A = this chain, B = another copy of it.
Amino acid sequence: MDSAAKIAGAKDGSGSASGAGTVGKALEVLDQVATFGRPVRFGELLAVSRFPKATLYRFVQTLTAEGMLTFDIERQTYSLGVRLVRLAHAAWETSSLAPVARQHLDELSARVGETVHLAQLDHASVLYVDKVNAREPLPMYSQAGKVGPAYCTGVGKAMLAFLPQRELDVVIGQQSFHRFTPNTVISEFALRTELEAIRDQGFAFDREEHEPGIICVAMPIRTERGRVLGALSVTSSTSRTTLQALEVHVPAIRATARAISEEAVQWRFPDTVPI
């Protein structure tokens, strides 16, 4: 059993790692508030929570006192607190590729004239950690900090394709396949087949699989020994270009990926041991 799995799995054999200790439960409440995406009343929280009233009440009290939630006294609603924003800024700076990659992304975006994404794998999903807009930005779902599915985005597939077998199995097991567009691949077999192709050619396409009209070509960012650090993509829309036209940027993307990798390895993600 490898380390990632060990940490993620933790505890006994039970499925969910969350919610065990007191802090786990508190964080679960925090997540509940987050998923509402808006200020939320105590009662609403109670409705979706597995905790009894008194217990939940104490949790929100504690979280509020700690600055992880804020309470609007007038509207009687809770929202995520500013302490989170502060923490996240630190997280973004220390444990993402973004600070290292920023400059390279800018250059790539300027060179190809399209939007560029930088993403990392967070358990089973894709976390966009940075984004550089093209001259005229297209409205689309992704934004730094957002998460998306791994099995139907360019960056997601690019990373999956180069995961070691065992990790890949775990991650694929965690995907909940959903048909976002007519092009979404929702069979595990089809996905595995495509990942093989990606492994061969070294990059991945998104053929409007996640959002209609949005296409991209993506490439993993890997260390010399092959460990996957993240992925980057050049994204555009069918109204503006085609996959064939995007494919000409592959060499530029590859160069960017390599540059980021080299800098990252030196800087923060040293690669002493193969997986």
Contact = CB atoms under 8 A, between A and B. Distances in A.
A104 B131 CA distance: 21
A66 B19 CA distance: 9
A98 B142 contact: yes
- The interface size bin for chain A is 35 or more
A34 B140 contact: no
Contacts of A91: 34, 79-82, 84-85, 88
Tell me how many chains of this kind the complex includes. Answer: 2
Interface in A20-52: 20-24, 26-27, 30-31, 34-39
Interface stretch (A122-130, A205-213, A242-250, A255-263): A122-130
B71 A145 contact: no
Contacts of A90: 34-35, 37, 80, 145
A146 interface: yes
Dominant SS at the A interface? mixed
Given A31-B87, A88-B88, A91-B84, A7 B64 contact: yes
Contacts of A84: 84, 87-88, 91
Nearest to A132: B138
Interface stretch (A157-165, A170-178, A186-194, A266-274): A266-274
A111 interface: no
Given A37-B94, A66-B17, A273-B74, A89 B268 contact: no
24 contacts: A7-B64, A18-B66, A21-B22, A21-B62, A22-B23, A23-B59, A23-B63, A24-B65, A34-B91, A38-B268, A39-B94, A39-B95, A80-B90, A83-B122, A84-B84, A85-B129, A85-B141, A92-B142, A132-B138, A133-B137, A133-B139, A139-B143, A140-B144, A142-B144
